[in-house]
């Protein structure tokens, strides 16, 4: 299977040209937490970034495709904890690729 196409789609959808300047910092921090294999609460993301909750919420609103669980925790953005047929593995940890998944909000 050619994984290049998935990598390109993820990179395009997450590229800084499509998002506010702060997005790069948010996505790196969020993906570092998601790779631990658990949904990320907004409170935990706020704390990890050192940003006020409103700033995090504003940046996330501009990121279509952010996936949430029923409690409002983040499940994914580009890479997801949801079951999908596409798997991305880093250092033995598995995430799913959420390419073309619709935005979902609890």
Cβ density class 79-92: b for 16+ within 10 Å, e for less: bbbeebebebeeee
Q: Selecting from 3.40.50.1980, 3.30.450.410, 3.40.50.460, 3.30.420.40, what CATH number does the domain 4-97 have?
A: 3.30.450.410
Q: Which CA distances in Å does 37 have to 14, 16, 81? A: 20, 25, 7
Domain ranges, ordered by start, for the chain: 4-97
Length of the chain: 106
Dump pLDDT digits (tens) for 34-81: 888 899 999 999 999 999 999 999 999 888 789 999 999 999 887 888
Task: Tell me, rounded to whole angstroms, the distance of Cα 24 from its chain centroid.
Answer: 11
Q: What is the mean predicted confidence (pLDDT) over 13-34?
A: 75
pTM of the model: 0.70
């Amino acid at each position: 299977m050619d994984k290049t196409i998935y990598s390109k789609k993820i990179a395009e959808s997450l590229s800084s040209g499509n998002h506010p300047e702060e997005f790069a910092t948010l996505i790196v921090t969020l993906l570092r937490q998601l790779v631990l294999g658990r949904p990320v609460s907004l409170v935990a993301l706020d704390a990890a970034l050192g940003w006020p909750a409103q700033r995090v919420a504003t940046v996330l609103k501009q990121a279509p495709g952010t996936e949430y669980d029923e409690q409002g925790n983040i499940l994914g953005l580009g890479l997801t904890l949801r079951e999908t047929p596409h798997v991305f593995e880093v250092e033995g940890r598995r995430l799913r690729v959420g390419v073309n998944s619709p935005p979902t909000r609890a």
